[in-house]
Amino acid sequence: MNALEYLEKRLEKEQFEKISAIDNPELHGFLAKYIEHLNPSKVFVATDSPEDEDYIRKKAIEYGEENPLAMEGHTVHYDGYYDQARDKERTKILVPRGKSIPFINTLDREEGLEEIHEIMKDIMKGKELFVCFFTLGPQNSIFTIPAVQLTDSAYVAHSEFILYRKGYEDFKRLGKEARFLKFVHSEGELDERKTSKNIDKRRIYIDLESETVFSANTQYGGNTIGLKKLAFRLTIKRAVEEGWLSEHMFLMRVNGPHGRRTYFTGAYPSMCGKTSTAMVSWENIVGDDLTFIVNMKGEARGANVEKGVFGIIQGVNKVDDPIIWEVLHSPNEIIFSNVLVKDGKPYWNDMGVPIPDEGENHSGKWWRGKRDAEGNEIPPSHKNARFTVDLKAFKNLDREALDAPCGVRIGGMIFGGRDADTWPPVRESFDWAHGVITMGAALESETTAATLGQEGVRKFNPMAILDFMSVHIGEYLKNYLQFEKCLRIKPKIFAVNYFLKDRDGKWLNHKLDKAVWLKWMELRVHGDVDAIETPIGYIPKYEDLARLFKEVLNKEYSRKDYEKQFTIRIPELLAKIDRIERIYNEIGNIPKELFIILEEERYRLTKAQEKYGDYISPFQFE
């Protein structure tokens, strides 16, 4: 019996006809293999029709994975108390025996496949399997990567319909030509709250060879929504092999003079200002998380991999996040996860309004002062609580750019770090390679006392991508450096740091200053303003920033503030070069250009130090 014959025998007639309409034997074989192995009692195949999407939406409520809230379109989902984040320890890249990749949690491929198949044998017995088709990137475009998701979680399927573009018709159009990604997920046995029970058998295994991700005994989106960070590992590998970029970057439009539109990507580690930058209210968002960048006729063209937002909700408030706040309080289709619910309304930590003293949250019935089994006080909402919503709900969405088949031309790339004493608030690289190495490959983020208990520890995180890397970082950087050589129009590269402090520990940036840095970068992309050359790149002139602060924020900007912010801090910059160089020396197989560029920067800094001293006013370079 071949795969299609097996599927005809196993599936209801209507569901089989949906599959047989796709002329792809590889797909048929994949579905037959895993339907037999997972052994569900029922299979539902979702096409691109609104009726099929609505079926899954209703099943999420019927099966108890989501509950309706008071506002139309809003539901809440709870993950298990110990299933609230990406499981880094048990997320593993499957590799050939004896192979290892720096910074990456790997497992022998044969051993991993044997283990996950044993865990998932008959795991869907008595349950319904949803077969869903999506695309990464805009449909029917140069960016399109088809993907098929198998899951017994209506919540996971529902989330993906919000976050990704439907792909059934693309599978039909591509037929045998579809080179698709595959995702197999089961939430496993559920407890009385309909949350995953067997957390000890939680596994997330990524098989690069077959481009398949397996996820078992978990519901949390970061472990289960296959097309997000799990697919990201697969697309990074593809990009390196094929000579394009798959990046952990927002994509946004900065609006310049006389209606000019300039598009930027931005890579920032967690808690470094990525979302707040992409959501500046008078600019326009295209995507908040993942971007594909390809060479198209000598231009770097970018597209949002997704069409929705799976965002952290803690701290979202009316003053700092007016656009997100409006979305969350309007009758959009939204899945809230792991928040507090009282009388059908969701509440979350640090939202700027009074929070009830009791309700239901990720721990079950909750009251203020409740503690968990380890004696920890349980907050109203989990710190990793989320909201899932379509980008079309945001009034500042650049709708035309979101689904443009050719994407948008990238004018600038921004790398945002977090440090108290080294980088100035904004600067521009001398060229592509200088930016890739000294800004992207050298990216660090300081930990905060509030989250990790020890403040100021610098965490190395090149391109904000280290947690998701699936290839050797040397290969990744080599591809980045090579990518520029194909470009006729090269994006400018910038670095930002919103967390600089003076020697007394006072912040030197205000929360909204980033809006001014964006406007300055936009002007630099088009050569509208000059800049000051320093040993680490180009920085703004005082006069330009003073004008922009007045125009953008209606604020006076003093020469004293400028001087404090843009002083070149030689000892700290030299120490950073030493740190970064040491890390890459220990890794090995790194492009020699990295060490050459770092040494050139060290030489410029040392010469400036000899001439001007350790701390150099920006006015000295004019």
Residue that terminates a domain, selected from 221, 242, 263: 242
On whether both 372 and 278 belong to a single domain, the answer is no
Q: Which range, of 317-321, 557-561, 617-621, averages the lowest pLDDT?
A: 317-321
Whether 546 shows a pLDDT value over 60: the answer reads yes
On whether both 228 and 320 belong to a single domain, the answer is no
Whether 456 shows a pLDDT value over 90: the answer reads no
Name the pairing type of β-strands 42-46 and 128-136. parallel
On whether both 502 and 564 belong to a single domain, the answer is yes
CATH code for the domain in which residue 176 is found: 3.40.449.10
Residue that terminates a domain, selected from 214, 242, 270: 242
In the DSSP assignment, the letter for residue 213 is E
Name the pairing type of β-strands 145-151 and 181-186. parallel
On whether both 26 and 50 belong to a single domain, the answer is yes
On whether both 300 and 442 belong to a single domain, the answer is yes
Q: Express each pLDDT in 389-428 by its tens digit.
A: 999 999 999 999 999 999 999 999 999 999 999 999 999 9
In a domain, 428, yes or no: yes
In a domain, 81, yes or no: no
DSSP 349-367: TT-SS---SEEEETTEEEE
Chain Cα centroid distance, residue 373: 32
Give the contacts of 440 (CB within 8 A, at least 6 positions apart): 267, 413, 415, 462, 463, 480, 493
* Torsion sign, CA atoms 276, 279, 281, 283: positive
CA nearest 45: which of 168, 158, 141, 143? Answer: 168
**Catalytic residue from among 132, 272, 406, 486:** 272
Backbone angles phi, psi at 76, to 5 degrees: -125, 140
Give pLDDT, residue 448: 58
Strand segments (E) across 101-186: 106-108, 128-136, 145-151, 165-166, 181-186
CATH code for the domain in which residue 542 is found: 3.90.228.20
Q: Which two tokens stand for residue 411?
A: 């004018």
Give pLDDT, residue 320: 86
Residues in the chain: 622
In a domain, 221, yes or no: yes
On whether both 317 and 295 belong to a single domain, the answer is no
Question: Where residue 98 falls among pLDDT bands split at 50, 70, 90?
Answer: confident
In a domain, 79, yes or no: no
Question: Where residue 455 falls among pLDDT bands split at 50, 70, 90?
Answer: low
Question: Where residue 451 falls among pLDDT bands split at 50, 70, 90?
Answer: very low
On whether both 132 and 208 belong to a single domain, the answer is yes
Question: Where residue 469 falls among pLDDT bands split at 50, 70, 90?
Answer: very high
Give pLDDT, residue 511: 87
Overall domain count for the chain: 3
On whether both 31 and 97 belong to a single domain, the answer is yes
CB atoms near residue 90 (< 10 Å): 19
Give pLDDT, residue 449: 45
Domain assignment of residue 142, given as a range: 3-67+86-242
In a domain, 400, yes or no: no
Question: Where residue 454 falls among pLDDT bands split at 50, 70, 90?
Answer: low
Q: Which range, of 360-364, 395-399, 448-452, averages the lowest pLDDT?
A: 448-452
CATH code for the domain in which residue 374 is found: 2.170.8.10
What global pTM score does this model have?
0.96
* Torsion sign, CA atoms 474, 478, 479, 481: positive
Residue that terminates a domain, selected from 392, 423, 444: 392
Q: Express each pLDDT in 56-71 by its tens digit.
A: 999 999 999 999 999 9
Q: Comparing 98 with 289, which gets the higher pLDDT?
A: 289
Give pLDDT, residue 452: 41
* Torsion sign, CA atoms 427, 429, 432, 435: negative
On whether both 268 and 324 belong to a single domain, the answer is no
CA nearest 593: which of 480, 433, 430, 429? Answer: 433
On whether both 190 and 254 belong to a single domain, the answer is no
Give pLDDT, residue 231: 97
In a domain, 274, yes or no: yes
Whether 453 shows a pLDDT value over 70: the answer reads no
On whether both 250 and 206 belong to a single domain, the answer is no
In a domain, 78, yes or no: no
In the residue annotation, 132 being an active-site residue is answered as no
On whether both 157 and 13 belong to a single domain, the answer is yes
In a domain, 398, yes or no: no
